[in-house]
Amino acid sequence: MTSADQADHAVLTWDTARPKLRDDLVFHFQMVEGRPTYVVEDRINRAYHQIGVPEYRFLRSLDGTKPAAQILAERSNRQDSLSESEIESLLRWVIDHHLFEPSESGQADRRLAHAEELMPKKKKKSLLRLFFLKLPLGSPDAFLRPLTGLLAWAFSPGALLAGLGALVYGAVLAITNHETLFEASSRALIPANWFWLIAATVFLKIIHELAHGIACQKFGGVVPEWGVQLIVWISPLTYIDATSSWGFANRWHRILVAGAGMYVELLVAVAALHYWLQADPGTMKEVAFNLLVSASFVTLLFNANPLMRFDGYYILSDLLDVRNLGQRGQQTFAWLNRRLFLGTGKQTLAPVLRKRFFLYATYGFLSWIWRIVIMIGLLALAANLFQGMGLFALALSVVLFLAGLVHSLVTSFQASDALVKIPWRSASWRIGLAVAVLAVALVAIPVNPTAEGYAVVEYPGKAVIRAAAPGFLATIHKPDGSRVEAGAALVTLRNEEETARLKTLEAELAWSEAKARGHYMGDRFDEWQAEKAKADGLREKVGAQRVRLDGLDLTAPVAGRVHAPDLADRLDAWFATGIPVVTVIPDEPAGFLISLRQQDFQRIAPGLASEPQPFEIRLAGRRGRYQAEFLRADSRASLAIPSPVLASSAGGPLPVRGLDQKESAIRGGGLARGTGGAGPAGENDTIRPEASREGLELLRPRFTLHASTKESAGLKEGEWGHARYQGAGTEALGTWLWRLTVGYLERSFRSPQ
């Protein structure tokens, strides 16, 4: 090999250098935006590059036998030939991306120097990766090969057609049962359901990524890596490297690989929906419901969202036949901002961006908004979950965001100034005008903030029937929802021990009466009087025991409707004395018990005292809204649980904490009964056992209000939802945003104790 052959491409001229492309590079022909192009697949570096046909033909001629200048001269007469400057730029581009065969250690040294030049940029990017940690788990390519051999048929035209039919069936099933689904969806995010939801999500994400890999291998791609990515340290997402599909010539094959995961998840959702609608209550039905939620809602919200670089983004790019949609959108949006705020009207836009300017600008704006929204949401979730550490992450992220924003602005100014001189006089008043408009908007735009809380359906005149004697639930005479008259039998309890005690007392009474008669007949009057007194005492005990056993038969004190939704599942359950067993709701309108935070109540209290507006209530699982008229409010805020269905221990939204025996004794149980703990004992009880409410209190005080509604048909005791009050007065937009921010930080920093 000559010295020219061994020369470093970075320092020698192309008159003597004989570059040679790496033999492992793979070229794929594609039609992109109506133009023939080639995709260069670099499997070693796991990179893909797009070049035009003239560039492809020139690079393919670099076989290491001829100098680049000679090849250029030979191709200069062709119609699609490149200019000398274009050739030099192309060769430099190839060197920078390491696509030439290395010839000696000098080439390696040059590449190392080039890598060191790029190191600062990588370090800057690593700061952003603090919140997007990737945990690679190796290459699954060999593991997937047997699965692809078994399951590749699932992505054949016939199987896809059958799958689309199944999806149509699922859509029809969801539409026809939308009310049932809507009602059940209200329970999806309660804490008691988190375990099943997380388990379902993990399972679905595994099969989601496997589907990507199988589809990729079916059409000839390779899968070099898979792993887990942690977004803001709390949201784990699986990933699989199916980027080799970018080289597929068939656009529909690329779309199928990108959508394979969502396709399989939606099929699982259809199967889960079908089973859930048919199954009896139990664990498997809960599992099916969580599979349905995770495979439909979560998948469509994130994976199908084209504003994030997940599956939906690549599907949209191929459907629109546009490459680098995200990058072009950002470039167009940045150019538009520079023109509007810097006045760089003379700075030209690249022809490729002018071709679909509206598409790129719209996508750039929407993706920018979405990134801010999703980042704020994830950081707020981290702050709430991890308290101190989450707040540290939030503060660090804000600092990094502001630093990145300043850096982007400075870089943008420098880039703009390098291309076109920025008219700083014009830019100053443009930026000043934008700031002034924003300030005026924050001060002048009025908003009508709502006071939001939780509402529970209650029937003030309901009768709570408690166990007068302890016993096991033996018979249910009137099931939940039955119409009863006053005096009707509802429930019978069973207590063999108390029944045996009655028989023992009756036997002792009979024996005592017999002895008393014997003493009387024998003229033993002193003994007769003593035995008679003993018999009278036993007779009183027998009467009391019979009354006690009569308490095992519970009857309706008033006419109405039986409310005992979970009683049928509690046959043979033990009920202690005084525990609520069943509730009878009379034929009267329902009311609402509303729980508000202290600051919200204090803000609306003047309006409630003068001209109260109706509360707007939306119950979980019910469509539409209810208007509730304000009746009265507690005199003070309390840590007492306003209703057991709202406590997090029962799957409700209000966090509670347990009290030790000393605190429970001091606070008297800490329970609210409709009027801050001062009302009648049964005023706001439900049929839930008292044991589920004792020894618990709220983390922060809340006010309890009562409201009535005329639209109470079909409402059930204990249903809960969200309450909003629109009559909270108006305030400036800036004041409202500041109050929300300060309130959020105060709630986050304040100790829950």
How far apart CA 269 and CA 297 sit, in angstroms, is 10
pLDDT of residue 8: 46
Q: What does the DSSP 8-state code read for residue 679?
A: S
Q: What does the DSSP 8-state code read for residue 89?
A: H
Helix residue spans in 471-524 (DSSP H): 496-521
pLDDT of residue 381: 59
pLDDT of residue 231: 58
Average pLDDT over residues 16-38: 79
pLDDT of residue 411: 63
Cα–Cα distances in angstroms (integers) from residue 658 to residues 603, 649, 650, 688, in the given order: 30, 10, 13, 18
pLDDT at residue 696 tops 50:
yes
Cα–Cα distances in angstroms (integers) from residue 339 to residues 349, 358, 422, 426, in the given order: 10, 15, 10, 11
Between residues 743 and 146, the one the model is more confident about:
146
Q: What are phi and psi of 26, to 5 degrees?
A: -120, 135
Helix residue spans in 129-156 (DSSP H): 141-151
pLDDT at residue 108 tops 50:
no
pLDDT of residue 595: 92
Model confidence pLDDT, tens digit, residues 663-689: 555 554 433 333 333 333 333 343 333
* DSSP-assigned beta bridge partners for residue 79: none
Q: Residue 116 — very low, low, confident or very high, per pLDDT cuts 50/70/90?
A: very low
pLDDT of residue 247: 80
pLDDT of residue 192: 57
pLDDT at residue 77 tops 70:
no
How far apart CA 736 and CA 732 sit, in angstroms, is 6
Token pair for 724: 């909003």
- Asked whether the beta carbons of 23 and 8 are under 8 A apart, the reply is no
pLDDT of residue 388: 52
Q: What does the DSSP 8-state code read for residue 1?
A: -
E runs forming strands in 215-319: 226-231, 235-240
Average pLDDT over residues 632-658: 83
Start-to-end Cα distance in the chain: 79
For the chain, the average pLDDT equals: 76
CA 416 to chain centre: 41
Q: Residue 6 — very low, low, confident or very high, per pLDDT cuts 50/70/90?
A: very low
pLDDT of residue 165: 94
Between residues 734 and 671, the one the model is more confident about:
734
How far apart CA 678 and CA 409 sit, in angstroms, is 61
Residue of 191, 184, 189, 242 lying closest to 216 (CA atoms): 242
Between residues 463 and 77, the one the model is more confident about:
463
Token pair for 11: 């320092």
pLDDT at residue 177 tops 80:
yes
Token pair for 424: 């700083």
